[in-house]
Amino acid sequence: MIKLKIKLAIFNLLSKLAFTALFLIFLPYIIERINLRQVDNDLIQKREQVISLIADVGIEPFIESDSADVFGSYNILKEEFVSLEWTDTEEDYNHIEVTERIIEGEVITYRVLNYSFLVDGQKYLLEVGKSLVSIHYARQNITRVILIFLLLIILITLLTDLQYTHLILRPLDRITGKLKGISSPSLFDRRPVKTSTKDFYRLDNALRELMDNIDSLFQKEKEITVNISHELLTPVSVLRSKLENLLLREDTDPEVSEKIEESLKTLHRLQTLVNSLLLIARIESHQYLREDDFSLNKVLKEIAAELSPIAEDKEIKIKEGYDQDLQFTKANRPLIFSMLYNVINNAVKNTPGGGEIIIRSFFQKERFNITISDNGRGMTHQQLENLFLRFKSRAGINEDGTGIGLAISKSIADFHDISVSVTSEPGKGTTFFFIFPEIS
């Protein structure tokens, strides 16, 4: 991917180079045309001089009548020449051409003006020539100078172009910058970006409107979740009280009691489900405060102690290796407790008897890490993918829970900017990684 301003600069550069190349192709021709015109004018002027000279002094000083003599005059560098001869042709000459002449054994290209005229009934042919060698050199020099000049211009304009596009594209950079690193539309910076470019202004406005819309939709969805949850909890409450009252009656048959307890269990599952949804909705709409300040290792130790009777009963060892500790600030302790508890509890459940769970905490690359690994059943790739999704049941893994515990852990982690990842291998075990945000 290439940045827009680089693209613009490349386009500018290429188009300039193309125009320059085109110009350079035609340049020799143009210079030649201009030069030739200049030379031609010179030649015509010279002809006029010769003609007026002849008119003044007559033809005799140059050429004797009836002789086959030719008058010729060269300047010493063979730059120019004038020749006069008499001719018999009927034709009139008055044209300019390029011819090669051999003068003193040297081939020189000349621009030659041929002109015929009559003096006392005798026709003469006048040739005025000018060497094109100097013109060639001139053309090359001019071309070189122009080439250097153009390249310089291109370089300078490239730099100014870059600078200018950078300047006018700055609002766009700001707009894309606002989009970077926001995990939720509610975090979008709603202050308008200062710009005099209408397109950017529109883009910024459109984005803001879009974010507002999404935000309000999200908000509505969360409200609906919360409202539905409340509506569901009331009937659950009624049912629960009724069943509990029945269970407390002394005249209830033991078999009936068992059935009532089964119904209560089912009801608890429903209750747990609704409460979990509520919890996630609350976390995601930032209804929990983050003002606790506590040691993460202490939380881990507490959880390990809490779960050790269950682990011991299953003959699972919980090994704790706390290399370093983090005093976590601006956090919600009960939520963090739940986040870690769910994962460790999950590990205890999914590790067969005689297994091992290792809890570690340490710093790596300036960030605090907690890893929880077990040598339990492990998970397939498919199961890993669905791990943090709500209600994607992980059949055979979790008999008691509703399959939402890890989704809760994930939303708590997101709420605290903690990154969670899992690696797992079927039959070998699973490791959860919690990487805490850098301490600023």
Partner 1 sequence: MNVLIVEDERSLAREIAAFLKSENFLCDIAFTGMDASEKIAINLYDFVLLDLGLPDYNGLDLIDEAKKNGSEASFIIITARGAVEDKVKGLNLGADDYLAKPFALIELLSRINAVARRKFRVTVQEITLGDFEMQTESRKLYCKGDEVELTKKEYDLLWYLVLNKNKVLTRHQLYEHIWGNILDDQYDSNFIDVHIKNLRKKLNAHAPTPWLETVRGVGYRVSVE
CA dist., res. 420 & res. 427, Å (int):
22
263 binds partner 1 (CB under 8 A): no
| # residues near partner 1 by CB under 8 A | 54
Neighbour count for residue 265 (Cβ, 10 Å): 9
Q: Which of residues 349-368 bind partner 1 (CB under 8 A)?
A: 349
CA dist., res. 264 & res. 117, Å (int):
132
CA dist., res. 367 & res. 220, Å (int):
36
Only segment of 30-38, 97-105, 244-252, 421-429 that touches partner 1 (CB under 8 A): 244-252
CA dist., res. 246 & res. 231, Å (int):
24
CA dist., res. 173 & res. 193, Å (int):
10
| 330: phi then psi, degrees, rounded to nearest 5 | 50, 55
Residue from 60, 258, 417, 438 in contact with partner 1 (CB under 8 A): 258
Only segment of 83-91, 164-172, 319-327, 394-402 that touches partner 1 (CB under 8 A): 394-402
**Binding-site string for partner 1 from residue 45 to residue 74, where x marks contact by CB under 8 A and - marks none:** ------------------------------
287 binds partner 1 (CB under 8 A): yes
Residue closer to partner 1 by CB (options 61, 334) is 334
388 binds partner 1 (CB under 8 A): no
| 347: phi then psi, degrees, rounded to nearest 5 | -65, -45
Task: Summarize the chain as % helix, strand, coil (round to 5).
Answer: 55, 20, 25
> Would the CA dihedral through 343, 345, 349, 352 be positive or negative?
positive
309 binds partner 1 (CB under 8 A): yes
Residue from 279, 318, 370, 435 in contact with partner 1 (CB under 8 A): 279
| Among candidate residues 279, 282, 265, the one with its CA nearest the CA of residue 338 | 279
Only segment of 65-73, 101-109, 373-381, 401-409 that touches partner 1 (CB under 8 A): 401-409
Triad 83, 84, 87: Cα angle to 5° = 130
282 binds partner 1 (CB under 8 A): yes
CA dist., res. 361 & res. 399, Å (int):
29
30 binds partner 1 (CB under 8 A): no
Asked if 131 and 109 count as a contact pair (C-beta separation under 8 A), the reply is yes
228 binds partner 1 (CB under 8 A): no
Half-sphere exposure of 271 (CA within 13 A, CB side): 14
Only segment of 6-14, 45-53, 59-67, 277-285 that touches partner 1 (CB under 8 A): 277-285
397 binds partner 1 (CB under 8 A): no
378 binds partner 1 (CB under 8 A): no
Residue from 216, 245, 364, 421 in contact with partner 1 (CB under 8 A): 245
Residue from 334, 352, 426, 437 in contact with partner 1 (CB under 8 A): 334
273 binds partner 1 (CB under 8 A): yes
Secondary structure of 52-96 in HEC code, one letter for each residue: HHHHHHCCCCCCCCCCCCCEEEECCCCCEEEEEEECCCCCCCEEE
β-strand pairing of 317-322 with 356-364: parallel
Only segment of 21-29, 57-65, 213-221, 280-288 that touches partner 1 (CB under 8 A): 280-288
Neighbour count for residue 341 (Cβ, 10 Å): 20
208 binds partner 1 (CB under 8 A): no
Neighbour count for residue 49 (Cβ, 10 Å): 12
Residue closer to partner 1 by CB (options 195, 402) is 402
Q: How far is the CB of 417 from partner 1 (least distance, A)?
A: 19
CA dist., res. 118 & res. 201, Å (int):
82
Residues that bind partner 1 (CB under 8 A): 230, 233-234, 236-238, 240-242, 244-245, 247-248, 254, 257-258, 260-262, 264-265, 267-268, 271-273, 275-276, 278-279, 282, 287-289, 306, 309-310, 313, 334-335, 337-338, 341-342, 345-346, 349, 398, 400-402, 404-405, 408
